[in-house]
Amino acid sequence: MSDLTIPIPQNFILGASSSAWQTEGWTGKKENQDSYIDIWYKNDRHVWYEGYGPAIATDLINRYQEDVDLMKKIGLTHYRTSINWSRFLTDYENAIVDEDYASHYDNFITAMLESGITPMICLEHYELPAELFYKYGGWGSKHVVELFTKYAQKVFERYNHLVKRWFVFNEPIVIQTRVYLDAVRWPYEQNTNTWMQWNHNKNLATAKVVQLFRNNNYQGTIGTILNPEVTYARSNSKEDQQAAKLYDLFYNRVFLDPAFNGEYPQELIELLAKHHVKWDYSDQELEIIKQYRVDEVGINLYFPHRVKAATKEWNKNMPFHPAYYYEPFDLPGKIMNKSRGWEIYPKIVYDFAMRVKQEYNNKSWFICENGMGIEDEKRFKNSDGIIQDDYRIDFISMHIYWALKAINDGANCGGYMLWAFTDNVSPMNAFKNRYGLIEINLEKNRARSMKKSAFWFEKLIKTRQLAIKLDDQYK
Ligand code: BG6
């Protein structure tokens, strides 16, 4: 083990992320303002941890000033959240703004700016309006793409003078993969065609919002946030390598290639056709995707993905699923975050950075989410009641270490945004796994208090020196 102190470049962002629905808890919501998340909860409450849903969340809408003060104390320069599409409008067809809801974001964004914190705002973090899900099948519909563009315009009109860093989607692949590909989430409907249609319509919506942004000459940048799973093959065998390559094609390149290069990989289009996956796309839409590319990509990185060649023949009576080509590989001896069931492998940051350098022309990107959710953190409180989350400090340190090493080797990684600033509601896991620098005490009216990691992050931002104990193999 060696003790190292590594300087953090001045322009490397040290911030934190969250989303509207996981924090806001707005009580003014009207009956027609549910989001997909709300109806998932309403229809399938028993799968949510202790029956806890997103209704109150961290009560940010009433306590934003307290949170902004804490951001300021810690020294955050950037904070990312979303605007909740389902709440921002009262009428989705005509894009009528809900003035009551929007006024809270007016205040929150202004409070951040007054405290010297740059707001980074995302337009959709799973907050598809339920009405559009029921009426049109959500992102399967081109009409919904048009309605999203109208919504985006209203948000830009209201905030473009305040917000200079925008993002279209957060993790656009997630909902349809859980719902329509794996059928493990409400409404549990396996349909690979629908899965691909949602993928494509979200790529199209991204390009259309970029087009809108450019046509109106809004100042600042427009990006998107993806969650590629850094994928490793079990071995160097031809078969395992092919399994990893195809896993990457179906789950990562389906969004990475349009974002960075403006087009789908030809091999993906061919394989979808070979397996009779039907999705509605036109040359004109592909041209829009090509022409209107994002300025930057935020990347959410939590854990590695490991695969091996498929060992069983695919049941030909089943609809096509990319698992036709791979099986999960369970690495013996892997280091785990047992609370979340996710492997810890911080080198994913370096490997992803090198990939962007080599395969995507070293385009601009940054770590938009990374963090560690831990169950029952109360057990780590010291006698002063402060959670001693050294495991989180180690986790963050190692991921930043690999980012800095990548930058040293020429990567174009612009920063590190922790998930999350405060503990918040997780899809299905509710408040089970805590991610925050700031504890939210549910027993004490959601009182906020800094964890040990918050004091550590404050020092990191102030000194811009990463002090780390490193296993010699990584030096
Ligand atoms: C990311 C999402 O995938 O992971 C967040 O953008 C989410 O919304 C975070 O909360 C952590 O995952 P989870 O399921 O433990 O909350």
Going along the chain from its start, the domains and CATH numbers come out as 2-474 (3.20.20.80)
Index of the ligand 1 atom closest to the CA of residue 227? 3
Q: In the predicted model, what is the mean pLDDT of the chain?
A: 97
Tokens of 330: 């369970």
Please work out whether the CB of residue 17 comes within 6 Å of at least one atom of ligand 1.
Answer: no
Q: Residue 269 is encoded by which pair of tokens?
A: 């289009």
Ligand 1 contact, 419 CB (< 6 A): yes
Does the Cβ of 397 fall within 6 Å of ligand 1? no
Distance between CA atoms of residues 130 and 32, nearest Å? 8
CA dist., res. 86 & res. 92, Å (int): 8
Q: Which amino acid is at 196?
A: M
User: Is the CB of residue 203 below 6 angstroms from any atom belonging to ligand 1?
Assistant: no
Dihedral sign from CA coordinates of 211, 212, 216, 218: negative
| Span from the CA of 103 to the centroid of ligand 1 (angstroms) | 27
Pocket test for ligand 1, best of 82, 419, 421, 422 (most atoms within 8 A of CB): 419
Strand 336-337 and strand 305-309: the pairing is unpaired
Measured torsion, CA atoms of residues 81, 86, 90, 91, in degrees rounded to the nearest 10: 120
Q: Beta strand 118-124 with 165-170: parallel, antiparallel or unpaired?
A: parallel
pLDDT digits (tens, 9 = 90+) for 47-74: 999 988 999 999 999 999 999 999 999 9
Answer for the pair 178, 190: CB distance below 8 angstroms, yes or no.
no
Tell which atom from ligand 1 comes closest to the C-alpha of 126. Answer: 8
Distance 441 CA to ligand 1 centre (A): 20
| Ligand 1 contact, 427 CB (< 6 A) | yes
**Using an 8 Å Cβ cutoff, are 86 and 148 in contact?**
no
Helix 99-114 crosses helix 142-159 at what angle (to 10 degrees)? 50
Q: 167: which strand partners?
A: 122, 223
CA–CA separation, 147 vs 79, rounded Å? 27
CB 400 within 8 A of CB 392: no
**Do 72 and 114 contact (CB within 8 A), yes or no?**
no
Q: Give, in degrees to the nearest 5, the angle at Cα 140 between 135 and 145.
A: 85
Burial class (CB in 10 A: 0-12, 13-18, 19+), 135: middle
- Taking alpha carbons only, the member of 413, 444, 432 closest to residue 9 is 413
Picking from 207, 210, 199, 254, the residue whose alpha carbon sits closest to that of residue 228 is 254
Query: 178-233: per-residue pLDDT in tens?
Result: 999 999 999 999 999 999 999 999 999 999 999 999 999 999 999 999 999 999 99
Strands, E assignment, 133-215: 165-170
From the CB of residue 215, how many other CB atoms can be counted at a distance below 10 Å?
9
For residue range 85-114, list pLDDT tens digits in order. 999 999 999 999 999 999 999 999 999 999
The two tokens of residue 441 are: 């005490």
Residues 42, 54: Cα–Cα separation, whole Å: 10
Cα–Cα dist 14/77, whole Å: 7
Q: Which residue numbers are catalytic?
A: 171, 369
C-beta of 424 in contact with ligand 1 (< 6 A): no
pTM for this prediction: 0.98
Measured in angstroms, how far is the CA atom of residue 57 from the centroid of ligand 1? 14
Q: Which residue has the tokens 């953090």?
A: 8
Residue 393 scores a pLDDT above 90: yes
Residues above pLDDT 70, as percent of the chain = 99
Does 426 contact ligand 1 (Cβ within 6 A)?
Answer: yes
Q: pLDDT tens digits for 419-444?
A: 999 999 999 999 999 999 999 999 99
How many Cα atoms sit within 13 Å of 289 on the Cβ side? 25
Mean pLDDT computed over 3-27: 97
Would the CB of 227 count as within 6 Å of ligand 1? yes
- 375 beta partners: 433
What residues contact residue 157 under an 8 Å CB cut-off, 6+ apart? none
Pairing type for strands 165-170 and 221-226 reads parallel
Residues near 292 by Cβ (< 8 Å), separated by ≥ 6? 207, 208, 210, 211, 214
pLDDT at 418 over 90: yes
Q: pLDDT value at position 312?
A: 86
Q: How far apart are CA 452 and CA 389, in angstroms?
A: 6
**pLDDT at residue 248, as a whole number:** 98
Strands 78-82 and 336-337: unpaired
CA-CA distance, 279 to 243, in Å (whole number)?
24
Classify each residue of 136-175 as buried b or exposed e, where b means 16 or more C-beta atoms within 10 Å of its C-beta. eebbbbbebbebbbebbebbbebbbeebebbbbbbbbbbb
Task: Render pLDDT for 355-381 as a digit per residue (tens, 0 to 9).
Answer: 999 999 999 999 999 999 999 999 999
**β-strand pairing of 326-328 with 447-450:** unpaired
Q: State in Å: Cα 21 to ligand 1 middle.
A: 12
CA of 288 to the centre of ligand 1 (A): 30
Residue 87 · residue 465 · CB < 8 Å: no
Q: What is the pLDDT of residue 475?
A: 59
Atom of ligand 1 nearest to the CA of 225: 6
